[in-house]
Amino acid sequence: MEPKRIAAPLTDDLVLSLKAGDNVLISGVIYTARDAAHKQLVELMDKGEPLPIDLTGQLIYYVGPTPAKPGQAIGSAGPTTSGRMDAYTPQMFEKGMKACIGKGLRSQAVKDAMQKHKGVYLAAVGGAGALLSKKIKKCEVVAYPELGAEAIHRLEVEDFPATVINDAYGNDLYAEGAKQYVR
Amino acid sequence: MREIAASVISDQVAGMCREANIYLGEDVFNALKESLETEESPTGKEVLKQLIENVEIAKNEQIPICQDTGFAVFFVKWGQEVHLTGGSLEDAIHEGVRRGYTEGYLRKSIVADPLYKRKNTGDNTPAVIYTDLVPGDKVTIAFAPKGGGSENMSTVRMLNPSDGEAGVIDFVVNHVKAAGPNPCPPIVVGVGIGGTFDKVALLAKKALFRSVGSKNPDEAFAALEKKILSKINDLGVGPQGFGGRTFALAVHIETFPSHIASMAAAVNINCHASRHLEREL
């Protein structure tokens, strides 16, 4: 099946058009955040303080890249395990995030939040850091520079490949995908 | 007595850190290419193609295969007729890791305090180092940058001797099934059987340093490796957990004698970027 080309940030209509199992190519602006940045963002939310980035419509990529070599936009940049972000993700959706990219299983609370707030969870191919780095054209740190690889980066991506795992309707590719090949 | 300078060890280690993270070993690369032939799922095939392309991009552009350039793990076999000059072995290895990770643009993924401050050490040290004194005048250094995502999906279980072969199979297969897509399949499964609580974990780690697809020298355990691999792939989890025939590339079992009351077992998982390198000095 041909991948769907989608633009980031995302609209509700676009999110609702995506189904578990769809392959997509993302172009536009996305942001990175992993464990340490999520912790700080959610602490600000709990205190009712403003966030360093507006999450409305945004796509958050769970990645901690390697340092860029001279002449590179970014170093290797594949997804990290998403489950570690589960504790923070429902609040991220509440604040307007529309999608996240990572790899691996999500909790029921995260899946419920996606149905409630019209969100999707995408997986990029874990361990394909070199290939994915070629799809990132520009990278700049926009918050928490002291976190190094874990800082929040603004990325400009072109045809960044990902697969829809959990859609806004409660479907789950990880649960469905294996059924066809189990023996 | 043969002498080796600490600086020689540091130079070797620095080079190994860069090399292992940029070039995937032929053993793993061949296993990936072979799995592309047998994979039935179109999505699974697409993932395998991306992984093969990823290895080629890393090589051509001299960038890491994966952004998780790992915890630096070393197994050193030190010939007892070799004298190390100009420093300690541990310091020499750490100096190599420091240089390899900094000069090689590799990610520094180690925090000093595991619980409270979690402040990055900034140079990917310390490494995890195991040293065996062996007869002779050779030194062998085996290195693996161990990714955190797959390491997190590892476990130890103190089975009962009565659990038998079926107990070991159930333990490994159920554990790997629960890990599902998290450790970046297709995975390599390191299994330890026997020894004590600590020893069995080490056996599972050592199993990941074996060339992918190599067999346990004992016929019965080689057969068990094959049986477990087949059961794991029959789960249908497939590449990246998207569904398919290739959940694991290999199962490697390492064993040690056991206490009469015990049958310790451990699973240590590696992702498809199963990086490992060995050099003899």
pLDDT tens, position by position, B210-257: 999 899 999 999 999 999 999 999 999 999 999 999 999 999 999 999
**Could you tell me if the ipTM is greater than 0.90?**
yes
Nearest CA-CA partner of B189 in B171, B207, B203:
B207
Q: What is the pLDDT at residue A2? A: 85
| C-alpha distance from A32 to closest chain B C-alpha (Å) | 14
Interface of B with A in 156-215 (CB under 8 A): 180-182, 184
pLDDT band at A24, cuts 50/70/90?
A: very high
Across all residues in chain A, what is the average pLDDT? 96
Rounded Cα–Cα distance for residues B140 and A148 (Å)? 34
pLDDT, residue B13, reads 98
Judge: A128–B51 Cβ closer than 8 Å, yes or no: yes
CB atoms within 10 A of CB A143: 17
pLDDT at B277 exceeding the cut of 80: yes
Beta carbons of A126 and B61 less than 8 Å apart:
no
What span, in angstroms and rounded, lies between the C-alpha atoms of A110 and A114? 6
Choose from B62, B67, B231 for mutation: most chain A CBs within 10 A. Answer: B67
The band of B101, judged by pLDDT with boundaries at 50, 70 and 90, is: very high
- Percentage of residues in chain A having pLDDT higher than 70: 99
B242 vs A contacts (CB less than 8 Å): 123, 163, 173-174, 177
- Facing residue for A127 by CB, picked from B51, B120, B242: B51
Given an 8 Å threshold on Cβ–Cβ distance, is A127 in contact with B47?
A: no
Q: What is the pLDDT of residue B213?
A: 85
> Cis peptide leading into A9, omega within 30 of 0?
yes
**B211: number of CA atoms within 13 Å, CB side?**
7
| pLDDT of amino acid A148 | 87
Q: Where are the domains of chain B?
A: 2-20+65-146, 149-274
pLDDT tens-digit map of B32-73: 999 999 999 999 999 999 999 999 999 999 999 999 999 999
**What's the predicted TM-score (pTM) here?**
0.95
CA B46 to chain centre: 25
Nearest CA in chain B to A21: B242
Is B66's CB within 8 Å of A77's CB?
Answer: no
Q: Is the dihedral of CA B79, B84, B90, B96 positive or negative?
A: negative
| Digit-coded pLDDT (tens) for A78-115 | 999 999 999 999 999 999 999 999 999 999 999 999 99
B contact residues 214-233, partner A, Cβ 8 Å cutoff? none
Among candidates B150, B174, B169, which has minimal Cα distance to B73? B150
Question: Cβ of B91 under 8 Å from any chain A Cβ?
Answer: no
State yes or no: pLDDT of A1 exceeds 80. Answer: no
Residues B107-163: tens digit of each pLDDT: 999 999 999 999 999 999 999 999 999 999 999 999 999 999 999 999 999 999 999
Nearest-by-Cβ selection for B236 from A21, A161, A178: A178
Q: Give SS3 for A99.
A: strand
Residue A165: pLDDT above 90? yes
pLDDT tens-digit profile of B165-220?
A: 999 999 999 999 999 999 999 999 999 999 999 999 999 999 999 999 899 999 99
Residue B271 has pLDDT above 90, yes or no: yes
Does A77 contact chain B (CB < 8 Å)? yes
Asked if B177 contacts B248 with a C-beta cutoff of 8 angstroms, the reply is no
